Structure 1
Amino acid sequence: MKAMILAAGKGERLRPLTLHTPKPLIRAGGVPLIEYHLRALAAAGFTEIVINHAWLGQQIEDHLGDGARFGVSIQYSAEGEPLETGGGIFKALPLLGDKPFVVVNGDIWTDYDFAGLRQPLAGQAHLVLVDNPAHHPAGDFSLSDGHVQDALPGADTLTYSGIAVLSPTLFDGSTAGAFKLAPLLRTAMAAGAVTGERLQGQWVDVGTHERLAEVELLIKGKH
């Protein structure tokens, strides 16, 4: 199974750090964020990695190279302009092949074990959800009996972690250009084709300086 790391975001809320450094290369605990993913994916048996990039993307290629020092093989999907999550994955499909693949947001930090995702996909998508963080209290979706649904009024909700397994068939009918992933997921949810799980462990969406500091504390706590 291949894996894709989404690394095309500009990281505007992390300025000035991201003015000259792409967000996935911002360091936490002295290590670029994206390297935590590469090491975790390699440890879980994922050796073929696709990384998309846009803002300062050449720095990502220069830093990571072909991936050999992480025990993986990296291919890059360069975007002239950001294509959003859906468009970015769609552009990379020729590199990902015709089987389900893992997608990971490049700007999260987690101790999640990706090995659990290496199993047959029972639908079009499998989402890893987390308890709603303080910056996103309303959540995204509901999880019931292993299936994910669009959040119903009054229902308990969880937040999408930025980790998923997707089938290429999710993108049937899509065309090149910028588009979001969520509408495709919601269509699949309505058809009962999205499974999910709740992440047990540590997870931070590293979108601000405060949350980057939170990751630094978590990393220190592990040593």
Structure 2
Amino acid sequence: MKQWEHALVSPQTSLNDAVAVMDKAALRIVMVVGPDRVLLGTLTDGDVRRALLSHYPLESEVSGVMCKTPRAVKGKWSREQILTTMEQYKILQMPVVDAQGRVIGLETLQDMLQRKHLDNPVFLMAGGFGTRLRPLTQNCPKPLLKIGEKPILELILESFVEAGFHRFFISTHFLPDMIKEHFGDGSQWGISIQYVHEDEPLGTGGALGLLPHDEIDLPLFVMNGDLLTRLDFKSLLDFHYAHEGVATMCVREHEHRVPYGVVTSEGHRIKSMVEKPVYRYFINAGIYLLSPALVKTIQRNVQIDMPTILEQQMSAGKNVNMFPVHEYWLDIGRMEDFQRAQDEFGIL
């Protein structure tokens, strides 16, 4: 089966299932088809994120959020025609259809252009003690715990390398020599790695002050070293550039179900009753893009957390944006998370 054939869904498919198909096919699009694969619409990565930002129910049919008038390649278009259309309408994928409107392929900008190196620096935070994972972390830093056959931090690094990034910084504190010995200077992956060491824990953002600020000349990726994700880093970068903020925080929708009937009142009078309501919130996903100007405001050896840094920027009137993550994401903070990562490793 050709890869694009994995990205076909029916209009009755739920948004949740369509996202799973999109993640598995890794094409940043699903094509919604009727009988005989006639193209009815498309759902892109951006469509999904807009639906999540609007709290569109994941159980609803994909037909409610799909683009019903997608642009498609019809007939024998030249490479120049396809690239011109993609550039004109700022689209990354175009279904290919025959004379009857049936899907027979998919053209992607990534496939049509030669892959380029992305020069944005990547900062991986690997200094934590991992106390909730003891005794596994008694003599091993948490980022070096293995998921399958590879350490967590190596899986993270390789996902960035696969996306085209090659400039890395890693922060260390607990058992730093083990991390340096494993990764070295990065030449094994054809990249460069520099290390910054926290003599004392500086919080989730303080290590930014230890970076060589003169080398941070492009938006900087910052990611906790205990996350597993299939996030599309290039899509995050495109979003950050398009929305002109000093920072972009990745967020994940979290669902909280109250197991009781919730009552609201005014004085002694009941105003409403909702049986076992479900509340949805966005939580911090531990992945950020920071402008060089913001990074250079972080002073050396100052203890500070990332939320505080971003709150300071917002208080100063700067734009801090959020980017919803619909792809696979797992924070390996507890023993049950570590076991779950082992069980789910095959889908990464």
TM bucket normalised to smaller: 0.7 to 0.9
Partner of 1:205: 331
Aligned CA distance change for structure 1 residues 7 and 170 (closer, same or farther; 3 Å): same
- What one-letter code is carried by the residue in structure 1 that aligns with 2:328? Q
**Correspondence 1:50-129 to 2 at 5 A:** 50-94=169-213, 96-119=215-238, 120=241, 122-129=244-251
* Shift, 1:98, TM fit: 3.4
Cα–Cα, structure 1 residues 96 and 210, in superposed 2: closer, same or farther, change >3 Å? farther
Distance 1:54 1:65, change over 3 A: same
Unaligned runs of 5+ in 1: 135-154
Q: Partner amino acid for 1:217? A: D
TM-score (norm: length of structure 1)? 0.83
What SS does the aligned partner of 2:343 have?
Answer: helix
Alpha-carbon separation, structure 1, partners of 2:299 and 2:318: 24
| Structure 2: unaligned runs, 5 residues or longer | 1-119, 257-278
Describe the superposition over 1:146-167 as per-residue Cα deviations: whole angstroms up to 9, x where unpaired: xxxxxxxxx9521111111011
Q: Render the CA deviation track for 1:166-198: whole Å, top value 9, x for unaligned.
A: 113225654332111211212333425111211
Query: Greater RCO between the two (CA within 8 Å, min separation 6)?
Result: 1
Corresponding residue SS for 1:85 = coil
Find the partner of 1:38 among 130, 138, 157: 157
- In the other structure, the counterpart of 1:27 is 146
Larger radius of gyration: 2
1:181 aligns with 2:306: yes
Return the offset for 1:131.
1.7
Deviates most, 34-43 or 190-199: 190-199
Letter in 1 for 2:163: A
Q: Quote the offset at 1:79 in angstroms.
A: 1.5
**Identity across the alignment (%):** 32
SS at match of 1:178: coil
RMSD: 2.1
Aligned residues: 202
1:17 is paired with a residue whose SS is: coil
